[in-house]
Amino acid sequence: MIIDLPSTTASQVNQKLVELRERGGAVALGRVLTLVIVADDDEHLENAVEAANEASREHPSRVIVVARGVRTAAPRIDGQIRVGGDAGASEVIVLRLYGPLAAQGQSAVVPLLLPDAPIVTWWPAAGPKAPADDPLGHLAQRRITDSAAERNPIRALTTRGKNYSPGDSDLAWTRLTNWRAQLVSALDLPPYEKVTAASVVGEADSPSTELLAGWLAAYLSVPVKRVKTTSAQGILSVTLERRSGPIELTRPDGRIGRLTQPGQPTRRIALQRRDTKDCLIEELRRLDPDEVYEAALCGLGKLAGRSRSGGRSGSGQAGRAREGRKGATASAGKDRG
């Protein structure tokens, strides 16, 4: 059910929610958090709401979507409430702010927050340079951005690394879960040797590739090379050098990975790119600061060097990834994971 509330106020939206609840229990009360989505265009708005609806089946929540309308228009708020089949296991409130109110998203959202429930703010498209300093980000315990959705993904990732605050996260990082899990498990198999160097090959503007290289540099304390390629989207391969021979994890087709290492049979692994809804579900499972993501951001400054390749893979060097087991963690539009 979708209810439109043109030229409304936050208090009127709240009143309508109470009315719906009293009239037939259309809006349940068992919410575990408030998810604030900041989306300025309809395409990102609907895609984000769809992902939030799917995530709500595991994390029932109140979803508040803040959409900024024409800034030169007269000040007004157009509201919309979605419940039932149009909202998954959540209740969705869409606030479209016009005129001077377009810059007052925090004031419009605060009256609609669930009492005593954690708050997560998500920017599915372009996000702020410093999420914790944004008015809507300042409200939240957890702030989720997506560097892959930015016009310049690598620059956005670097900027957010410089402005990191505990509670920040990035879907480009979440897309790495399966890659990191496979690399850690490979190091738990014999021969148990120290990794001496590593290389990560991927698309030039893939923030997930950057973060994977940064994670290896942070936890292995060995030279890690970031190789850029034009032959594939997202991450193409990772190589960990050891005395007995390299561990190589490659994904040439974006779906199936191939893991090879000395003394072990070659394994085929499902490494398909993850949907936004899957990444969002994973992000909402934890609301504490992600220290491993912070370490990966710090590791970006430790990369040994960057080179460019037009081929299918590159080799490199790395060291002790068992510490990374604490956080094995990663799409939208053109998938850069």
| 325: pLDDT strictly greater than 60 | no
* 161 located within any domain: yes
Neighbours of 154 (CB within 10 A): 18
Alpha-carbon distances of 169 from 143, 245, 287, 317, rounded to whole Å:
6, 35, 10, 27
* 334 located within any domain: no
pTM of the full predicted structure?
0.87
Same domain, 107 and 196: no
* 336 located within any domain: no
Across the chain, mean pLDDT equals 87
> pLDDT of 76-89, one tens digit each?
999 999 987 777 77
Alpha-carbon distances of 269 from 14, 165, 236, 250, rounded to whole Å:
48, 34, 14, 10
Same domain, 214 and 253: yes
Same domain, 110 and 200: no
Same domain, 130 and 205: no
Same domain, 132 and 218: no
Overall residue count recorded for the chain in this entry: 337
Q: How does residue 93 score in pLDDT terms, banded at 50, 70 and 90?
A: very high
Position 42 scores a pLDDT of 80
Short-list 181, 183, 174, 184, CA closest to 328: 181
Q: Which of residues 170, 192, 225 is at a domain's end?
A: 170
* 213 located within any domain: yes
* 332 located within any domain: no
| 174: pLDDT strictly greater than 90 | yes
Position 20 scores a pLDDT of 83
Give residue 269's domain range.
Answer: 174-327
Same domain, 181 and 317: yes
SS3 category, 269: strand
Q: Are 110 and 26 in contact (CB under 8 A)?
A: no
Least confident of 54-58, 130-134, 280-284: 54-58
Same domain, 308 and 215: yes
Same domain, 179 and 143: no
CATH number, residue 93:
3.40.50
* 193 located within any domain: yes
* 335 located within any domain: no
Q: Which of residues 136, 154, 170 is at a domain's end?
A: 170
| 316: pLDDT strictly greater than 50 | no
Residues 24-30 have a mean pLDDT of: 55
Who wins on pLDDT, 182 or 325? 182
Backbone angles phi and psi of 92, in degrees to 5 = -110, 130
Same domain, 85 and 210: no
Give all strands of the β-sheet with 61-68 in edge-to-edge order: 2-8, 76-82, 91-98, 61-68, 33-38, 119-122, 142-145, 168-170
Position 305 scores a pLDDT of 58
Q: Which of residues 170, 191, 209 is at a domain's end?
A: 170
Q: How does residue 31 score in pLDDT terms, banded at 50, 70 and 90?
A: confident
Same domain, 151 and 216: no
Position 12 scores a pLDDT of 94
* 337 located within any domain: no
Same domain, 166 and 205: no
CA distance 219 to 314: 21
Domain count, the chain: 2
Same domain, 141 and 226: no
